[in-house]
Amino acid sequence: GQNIDQPTEMTATEGAIVQINCTYQTSGFNGLFWYQQHAGEAPTFLSYNVLDGLEEKGRFSSFLSRSKGYSYLLLKELQMKDSASYLCAVRDRSNDYKLSFGAGTTVTVRA
């Protein structure tokens, strides 16, 4: 299986930028997803990376380096509603449809 590591918690100020790192180990990488999950709610899809580089979607961007087994999610112009848990999930070629999730990073945005 995969070993996926993310920081447990991060705190930032409204309007600032926060970067959430994710490192993974897998024998056959086949894509990385970021999800947002508000407390007690379902995870919702944010971004997908399969090639190296940066994917930008409005205030959110996600970066991937396959050689380093590393991704980050960048949240810009933070808003109070961005307070949530952010989940990194990796797909492996050995089971193309299974996602292995990190434990998640809880981001708290302060006024």
Partner 1 sequence: EAQVTQNPRYLITVTGKKLTVTCSQNMNHEYMSWYRQDPGLGLRQIYYSMNVEVTDKGDVPEGYKVSRKEKRNFPLILESPSPNQTSLYFCASSLMGSSYSNQPQHFGDGTRLSIL
Q: How many residues bind partner 1, per CB under 8 A? A: 26
Q: Which stretch binds partner 1 (CB under 8 A): 18-26, 56-64, 65-73, 91-99?
A: 91-99
- Among 30, 66, 70, 74, the residue binding partner 1 under the rule CB under 8 A is 30
Phi-psi region of 53 (alpha: psi -120 to 50; beta: other; left: phi over 0): left
- Among 19, 25, 45, 65, the residue binding partner 1 under the rule CB under 8 A is 45
Give how far the C-alpha of residue 101 lies from the chain's centroid of Cα atoms, to the nearest Å.
Answer: 10
The reply to whether 56 sits near partner 1 by the rule CB under 8 A is: no
CB atoms within 10 A of CB 63: 20
The reply to whether 29 sits near partner 1 by the rule CB under 8 A is: no
User: Could you tell me whether strands 9-13 and 105-110 are parallel, antiparallel, or unpaired per DSSP bridges?
Assistant: parallel
